[in-house]
Amino acid sequence: QERGAAVGVRRETDASGRTVVRQVKKGVRDFSFGRILGEGSYSSVYLATDRQTLKEYAIKVLEKRHIIKEKKIKYVNIEKDTLNRLTEHPGIVRLYYTFQDQNSLYYVLDLCSGGELLGVLKKTGTFDVECTRFYSAQILDAISYMHSRGVIHRDLKPENVLLDDQMNIKITDFGTAKLLQDPREARRQMERGILDPSRGDEDDDGRAASFVGTAEYVSPELLTHKNACKASDLWAFGCIVYQLLVGRPPFKAGSEYLTFQKIVHLEYEFPQGFPLAARDLVERLLVLDPSRRLTIEHIKNHEFFDGQAFGKTLWRTKAPRLRPYV
């Protein structure tokens, strides 16, 4: 039974009339599929209902032929390994089980019926300070958990921050995550001489990891030295805090190339009336040198989060009503 596969149980009566309990793995037939919720480059996410429990899920469907043709097998494995590593945090979309049929792979996941944070932001235009504080605290708490499990997301953006039915966030889309080797495993491999430290960010099949995130949120180090670190997620976090209050990201130009130029030259400004504590926080996150960016602990203690609880309380308090920042 592959890890993370949940087994169903089916009671049957055998020839001699005895009840036999059989372990069965769930399959496509156990769900009734509804509308498409979202479409990625290599997948579609459907609304689905478990026929037995009537519980609603999101099921991500990946077409095997397309993945193989586009050489994205590594991407699929990274996403699944990442989801299997990030199993118990309210701010991360949870993978319940996986199965496959002739043509496709299926991931059964949390349903985030509030859709994308970006969609909600577009409706209100901007978030006021209270909403920005609450949602950025939840995003930060989820990033903190990811980093503690050795996962760098590398493509954080409002489209990848979903909302559940309680209007709490769930971070998603881990196909481009970077999994840090856990130190024990790394030492074992070093001892066995497998891990060549100079290999840096190469993929297993030797291709230099040429992945770059979404233009508006990509960090300068990813553009210049080609490798991401945990602080790269905090650069994206800084862009998201700015965007919640302003309604657009700090670095946006007519083309990707021009956006990259603005990033590496730190060309952005705060509109009139931007709240001072938020400005100080963003200025200490949008720093070109990743080693000089605020760390998660420093962010949690920053004046902008004064009075904001983190940890369990943050996920039990009711989400604030969404109000625009005027």
Active site residues: 155
Please identify which residue in 27, 34, 40, 200 interacts with ligand MP6, judged by CB under 6 A: 40
162 interacts with ligand MP6 by CB under 6 A = yes
113 interacts with ligand MP6 by CB under 6 A = yes
Question: How near is the Cβ of 173 to ligand MP6 at its closest, in Å?
Answer: 5
> Which string of x and - marks every residue 83-112 that binds ligand MP6 (by CB under 6 A)?
----------x-------------x-xxxx
39 interacts with ligand MP6 by CB under 6 A = yes
Identify whether the C-beta of residue 46 lies closer than 8 Å to the C-beta of residue 36.
Answer: yes
Q: DSSP assignment, residue 307?
A: T
26-34, 155-163, 242-250, 264-272 -> range binding ligand MP6 (CB under 6 A):
155-163
Q: What angle do CA 209, 212, 214 make, to 5 degrees?
A: 155
Identify whether the C-beta of residue 139 lies closer than 8 Å to the C-beta of residue 161.
Answer: yes
12, two tokens: 């049957």
Q: Is the CA virtual torsion 54, 60, 66, 67 positive or negative?
A: negative
Q: Which is nearer to ligand MP6, 27 or 40 (CB)?
A: 40
Number of residues in contact with ligand MP6 under rule CB under 6 A: 22
In order of 110, 156, 162, 176, 202, the CA distances from 222 in angstroms are: 31, 13, 25, 13, 14
Please identify which residue in 45, 137, 142, 177 interacts with ligand MP6, judged by CB under 6 A: 45
CA distance linking residue 211 with residue 218, whole number of Å: 10
Question: How near is the Cβ of 315 to ligand MP6 at its closest, in Å?
Answer: 17
Please identify which residue in 60, 89, 154, 293 interacts with ligand MP6, judged by CB under 6 A: 60
The contacts of residue 45 (CB under 8 Å, 6+ apart) are 36, 37, 38, 39, 58, 59, 60, 61, 109
Name the nearest CA neighbour of 115 among 54, 56, 38, 42: 38
115 interacts with ligand MP6 by CB under 6 A = yes
325 interacts with ligand MP6 by CB under 6 A = no
Q: Would you tell me which residues interact with ligand MP6 (CB under 6 A)? A: 37-40, 45, 58, 60, 93, 107, 109-113, 115-116, 159-160, 162, 172-174
